[in-house]
Amino acid sequence: MKNHVKSVSTKAVQFAELTKSFIRSGQVSRAKKCLDMAELLFKNGNAETRNAIGSIYVYSVSTFIEIRNCTVSELFPPTLKKEYVLQVNASGV
């Protein structure tokens, strides 16, 4: 069996999918734990990790939350909420 090294962006996609699956199944406390972990990774990670969390994870999860008619501000920790606001403002929405 080969040792497959996954890129940071691939891991961010998988982490976002896990978070969304918790939300989908009503396990909001588990989703909140994922969001809190993403916050820690965003605050303490290297540039590549911060970029993946900010551009992939936050975008994917926030889009999913909005489609489900939830408010991002209820679930997102403060730093990720700021990143989300920056993305929304940058998109011109």
**Helix, strand and coil percent figures for the chain, each rounded to 5:** 80, 0, 20
Domain boundaries along the sequence of the chain: 8-80
- Among 9-13, 34-38, 63-67, 87-91, the range scoring the smallest mean pLDDT is 87-91
pLDDT at 72: 62
Amino acid (one-letter) located at 28: V
pTM of the model: 0.85
